[in-house]
Chain A
């Protein structure tokens, strides 16, 4: 079954870090990039960045540069997104999506809620 399965909800203190995982199955992991998108409560979609599992190349949104790191483990077919120095405005549902350069985000994970609260 072709799917992306993300890790469970997280609760973090301001200033902490969070690492969300996204495990792929049913397709060749290195054939497609993974993009990360977040959605704050009641808000729209925000592109966070992109990673190519084939060679590890990344591209991050400018506003997150220095706080975000995206990695992949091809042996376990898993992508990771780590966000550091969490603030209240980082509270959101975080999605991974399979990025086909040809046709867009044609497969999404179920989302991971990250709550930032003291």
Chain B
């Protein structure tokens, strides 16, 4: 089973700052990695698929990069509504789709 490890567990930043979130896979997942955002009491929302493609309606400040085992989600300039929990999900052995444990992005 592919294990995804996200870091850091918690990231404390201020609005306007740049956020960099990491996701590392226990074996190569090629580019088959997605990122989701989840706010309290809400279902997750797809942000990025295939490592670097923004989903429909996702602002350009969100970007993804990486391949193989190391991936990054970058939020270029944080808006107040971006403070949430972020999950990565591997899709290399689709339809199975394991998730990372999440990174909480909180306001400093």
Contact = CB atoms under 8 A, between A and B. Distances in A.
Interface of A: 33, 35, 37, 44-47, 50, 59, 61-62, 95, 97, 99, 101-106, 108-111
B87 interface: yes
Interface stretch (B11-19, B41-49, B73-81): B41-49
Interface of B: 1, 34, 36, 38, 43-46, 49-50, 53, 55-56, 87, 89, 91, 94-102
B22 to A, nearest CB: 16
B98 to A, nearest CB: 6
B95 A108 contact: no
Given A44-B87, A104-B89, A99 B95 contact: yes
Which secondary structure characterizes the binding site on chain A?
strand
A15 to B, nearest CB: 28
B13 to A, nearest CB: 21
Contacts of A44: 87, 99-102
Of B55, B87, B95, B98, most A-chain CB atoms within 10 Å: B95
Nearest to A51: B95
Contact of B49 (A33, A59, A61, A104): A104
A105 B94 contact: no
